[in-house]
């Protein structure tokens, strides 16, 4: 299990990595909340595969879960930005 500091570090690392940044950008690319969630979760998995050294078993379940959760949250924020800041 992750300790509290471990958890905070993992969340911060994901916010400043693909799930946070690309997740936000992907969320801004759609007005559909469901599509945003799928894209955000997808980028969470991609990040773990890409930066986990292409060894899916190397990362632990909590790391995957946090990367996916951060990806979804960022994509939802991106989608909200799209709704608020664009008419198309």
CA 76 to chain centroid: 10
- Within 10 angstroms of residue 50's Cβ, the number of other Cβ atoms is 12
User: Which residue of 30, 38, 52, 82 would you call a contact of other proteins, by CB under 8 A?
Assistant: 52
The DSSP secondary-structure symbol of 88 reads: -
Binding segment toward other proteins, per CB under 8 A, in 10-18, 25-33, 35-43, 71-79 = 10-18
Which tokens go with 48? 């773990």
User: Which residue of 34, 54, 85, 88 would you call a contact of other proteins, by CB under 8 A?
Assistant: 85
Look at the block and give the residue holding tokens 């799930």: 19
Q: Which residue number, 18 or 75, has a Cβ lying nearer to other proteins?
A: 18
Hey, is 34 helix, strand or coil? helix
The DSSP secondary-structure symbol of 31 reads: S
Binding segment toward other proteins, per CB under 8 A, in 5-13, 24-32, 34-42, 71-79 = 5-13
Residue numbers at the binding site for other proteins (CB under 8 A): 1, 5-6, 8-10, 12-14, 16-18, 47, 51-53, 57-58, 60-61, 67, 84-85
């Amino acid at each position: 299990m992750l300790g509290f500091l471990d958890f905070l570090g993992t969340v911060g690392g994901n916010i400043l990595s693909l799930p946070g940044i690309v997740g936000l950008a992907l969320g801004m690319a759609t007005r559909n909340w469901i599509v945003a969630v799928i894209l955000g979760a997808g980028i969470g998995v991609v990040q773990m595969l890409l930066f986990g050294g292409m060894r899916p078993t190397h990362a632990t379940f909590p790391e995957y879960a946090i990367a996916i959760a951060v990806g979804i949250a960022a994509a939802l924020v991106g989608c909200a930005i799209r709704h608020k800041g664009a008419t198309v």
